[in-house]
Amino acid sequence: MTSLYDWSYWFCEAWLVPLITPLLYFQEHIMPPFSNPAGDMARWMESDPGLNILAWTIAVNVALMIGFTNVIIVVYLERKIAGRIMDRRGPMLSLNSLKEIASDLAGYAPEYTWKTTTYAGIGILQNVADGIKFFCKEIIVPDKADRLLYTIGPVIFISSSILLLVMVPFSPRIAASSAPLGLLVVMAAFSIAPIGVLTTGWACNNKYTLIGGMRSAAQLMAYEIPLLLSMAGVFLVAGSYNPMDIVAQQQGMWNVVPQFLGFIVFIVCMLAEVERVPFDLPEAEAELVEGWTTEIGGLRLGLVFAAEYIRGFVGAMIATILFLGGWSGPFLPGEIWFLLKVYGILIFFIILRWTVPRIRTDQILLLGWKRLLPLSLINLALAILYVEVF
């Protein structure tokens, strides 16, 4: 089966390199020795290391584009589901409403009919409007903030989150990385983000951000251990950390059946890991203004929001691979099955956000240490028994 890397390597070898190298060789002979590096670049591109690097660059960027496209869809989906749950139309700005916007700007009265209302549509352009808003806002650094840590903190959070999109495969054909330790590397990348959160909360010199950062550290320490223990049961049954092997092991029966307890523990811990309601204590708008992101503005704030959605999307991808059979399914292509399962989990996350109240900090810590940790150990014991019996 042709993978994304194989396709990228073929594209570089058959099209990209033959198209670019003649131009570089031509440039090499125009003004030697000043243009000699162009020839060196052409010879490097024709070599095996050059082709490998070009192929990996294309594969990683394609995986990022696919991931970011799905993240934009998740943002749109959350708005629409929230509007339905709260019984309101929500954002309706779309291509259909451009004519009405132009009429308003020109001073004409909006046209109301029985079929449509003003600014009718399905809300497609709302994400574009958000992007324009974040691009236009100024990045303001507080006077007494630690400028170095204030800059590094969000970068750690954003970069570690974007890295996740490349490390989780959509299918054997669309996988930028298939490391033998697979999902363990992904969870290690997940664990980097709290460093950025705590660093930013301290560097802003703001009590709200500091409390948000400390809450994040305490929360993630309480849920990281049961999260990894719930995954350990799957690794034990599959005998591998590789996502491809884990999905192949579930061809007869999904892991959610024998390890339903582990699935529940994983979903709850993942909600806490990505800091979504009811586990959004580090942000807690009603208590901490915006938590650790209070002093972050401009495009940097937009990227932080995008990183939070990326982490939620990747969390649903990991749950699908571990417990729901990954991309396996009849009739439809594997990628379609994979996305259907992922979006099913995401819709559950979104419904929880708009229907369940936030719980207190002490309740979150008690749930993690006194409830989920024992349940994850019980699930691990059941997984060991399952392996020994079957």
Q: Kindly report which listed range (42-56, 112-126, 251-265) carries the lowest average pLDDT score.
A: 112-126
Q: What is the pLDDT of residues 232-242, one digit of tens each?
A: 989 888 888 88
Residues 69 and 187 placed together within one structural domain of the fold: no
Residues 128 and 276 placed together within one structural domain of the fold: no
Helix 4-11 to helix 48-85 angle (10° resolution) is 130
Please determine, for residue 179, whether its predicted confidence score (pLDDT) is greater than 50.
yes
- Amino acid letter, residue 257: V
Mean pLDDT (the chain, rounded): 82
Full-model pTM: 0.83
- Residue 125: give the domain boundaries: 91-136
Residues 116 and 202 placed together within one structural domain of the fold: no
Residue 177 pLDDT grade (very low, low, confident, very high; cuts 50, 70, 90): low
Residues 177 and 79 placed together within one structural domain of the fold: no
Structure tokens at 58: 């294309």
Helix 207-238 to helix 260-273 angle (10° resolution) is 150
Q: How many domains does the chain have?
A: 3
pLDDT at residue 88 in the model:
75
Here the contacts of 124-132 (C-beta below 8 Å, separation 24 or greater) are: 124/76, 124/93, 124/94, 124/95, 125/93, 125/94, 125/95, 125/97, 126/76, 126/79, 126/91, 126/93, 126/94, 127/72, 127/75, 127/76, 129/93, 130/75, 130/302, 131/302
Residues 102 and 79 placed together within one structural domain of the fold: no
Please determine, for residue 374, whether its predicted confidence score (pLDDT) is greater than 50.
yes
CB 51 within 8 A of CB 18: no
- Given 136, 153, 173, the domain boundary residue is 136
Residues 131 and 149 placed together within one structural domain of the fold: no
CA dist., res. 342 & res. 336, Å (int): 10
Residues 103 and 208 placed together within one structural domain of the fold: no
- Coil, strand or helix at 91: coil
Residues 37 and 147 placed together within one structural domain of the fold: no
pLDDT at residue 264 in the model:
93
Residues 165 and 269 placed together within one structural domain of the fold: yes
DSSP 370: I
Residues 276 and 348 placed together within one structural domain of the fold: yes
**Which residues are CB-contacts of 202 (< 8 A; sequence separation ≥ 6)?**
146, 149, 209, 210, 213
Residues 83 and 95 placed together within one structural domain of the fold: no
Residues 159 and 206 placed together within one structural domain of the fold: yes
